[in-house]
Amino acid sequence: MKRNKKKSLKRGNVLKANKERIRNRVSVERGNGHTHDKQGNYKALSVINASIHCKPLTVLFLSSNRSRDIDMGSGWRIVSCFYSSIRFVYVKMVQINVWNISGHFHRLLKNRTARKIAVICLLLAGIYYTFFYRQSLLHTHNQNLSQKYNCSSIAHQDKIGIKRNKSVCVKFGGGLGNQLFHFCFGYTVARKKNMQLVITRKNILTQYFKLVPNHWKHYDLNAGICDCLPLTTDKGYDCGYDKKLEHLPSDQDLSFLGFFQSWKYWKKYENELRQILQFQDDILHEAKSKFITIISKYQKYRDIKTIGVHIRRFDRYDTDKFGKNNAPKEYIIHAMDYFRNLYKRCVFLIFSIEMKWTKKNIPQTGDIFLVEGNSAPVDLAMLTLTSHTIMTVGTFGWMAGWMTQGKTVYYMHPAMPGSAFSKLYSNYSDHFYPGWIPME
């Protein structure tokens, strides 16, 4: 114990002696605001000056609302503040020798843990570059090359006279109803001219319906081939019928951009289209199970008629700036009364993404059931299971009525007269299916 006490006393004396040596080595130059040790290393005390000079400035920045009450003194304080701060940072950089990167790197490598971390970081960086970044660059590069190859390959095949089926491309866009119009139009053009319609796996119609994707797989070409073809644009994006599109050449590839929302384009092939547009099994199963659950609540009634009602509203106002008219509540009530007078017993299944408006404006009688919480394809499949249809505005309700093949009532004023939207309809009879019942 005595030996340990002696050792601790010796260590304490050594520490005190070292402190005194350090104090003796350092000579303070208060006027210059810095120190020099015995080895000539430069130590900054300018932070003291910076804190003295910058105190009023710091208060000014932190309390700008009271800046008028702060005495900034003369302008030399501001200059001295910035000078002292810059000198302090510079001295610290010199002190740690921040430019000696190789020296710091060698010191780091002497640490075993640092070496392990460096190796792991290098391995992770190599894996990321090899499997992710490099692959993404190659994919983008190959995509560009593939598109260029596709365009040049088709031109070469046509030039040397290789026979192939010409293709029809349609720029699919919009919601489910719009894309169904695009498909019906493209299928009809390809069917009439003995061509093939290009449709990719990414198209939502292949996910909702039993459609086989067709994207030039027999020619080792991808779906980007549509970008190589000359584009035919529907004049004015007219929702009506354009006869000129019926007389396009069949010996060249065709690509279309527009709405093409007229039944006249595909009136000869509508039965084929209804057979082709079969819902996927999971969507149809979900729709049937929910439909049966709803109808079971009215099983005490015999010979009950189901009417699907689709309520679409473009805006919170009755008419938007473009001239689209929302169907008023009086029209919907009038259409439901039409079927109530036509059949003794009927139930109305109402589908809408604006259920707040529906609950507020449509009387909730016993023959009305609000269908909520479904996806768009399930809603459309349930609408096709009903006997008849009441549509308001929009292509979704239009397709529901056409696929149901029952009585369909539609709002007869979809556009404000003289508006930009009304110009899209060259003739309402080109858009609305013959035999449907207009109401207001």
> What is the pLDDT at residue 264?
94
Per the structure, the complete domain to which residue 212 belongs is given by 167-275
What length is written for the chain?
440
Residues 324 and 425 in one domain: yes
Residue 288 lies inside a defined structural domain of this protein: yes
pLDDT of residue 278: 96
270 lies in the same domain as 376: no
In terms of domains, do 291 and 432 share one? yes
Measuring CA to CA, which residue among 233, 229, 231, 222 is closest to residue 155? 229
Question: Is the pTM for the entire model greater than 0.75?
Answer: no
Q: Which parts of the chain register pLDDT below 70?
A: 1-85, 87-110, 129-150, 156, 215-224, 236-237, 315-320
User: Is 233 in the same domain as 365?
Assistant: no
Q: Are residues 262 and 314 in the same domain?
A: no
Cβ neighbours of 269 (radius 10 Å): 15
Q: How many domains are contained in the chain?
A: 3
List, as one string, the DSSP characters of 281-292: HHHHHHHHHHHH
**Same-domain status, 234 and 289:** no
Ranges of beta strands (E only) in 132-275 are 167-170, 196-197, 231-233, 254-257
Judgement on whether residues 312 and 350 belong to the same structural domain of the protein? yes
- Asked if residue 195 belongs to a domain, the reply is yes
Domain termination residue (choose one: 275, 298, 332): 275
Helix axes 176-192, 395-404, angle to 10 degrees: 60
Residue 40 within a domain = no
Q: Which of 133, 160, 187 is the last residue of a domain?
A: 160
Domain shared by 135 and 260, yes or no: no
Looking at the domain assignment, is residue 232 inside a domain? yes
- The pLDDT score that the predictor gives to residue 422 is 80
Q: What is the DSSP letter of 131?
A: I
CA angle in degrees (0–180, nearest 5) for 190-192-195: 35
What is the separation of C-alpha 366 from the centre of its chain, rounded to a whole number of angstroms?
A: 40
Residue 31 covered by a domain: no
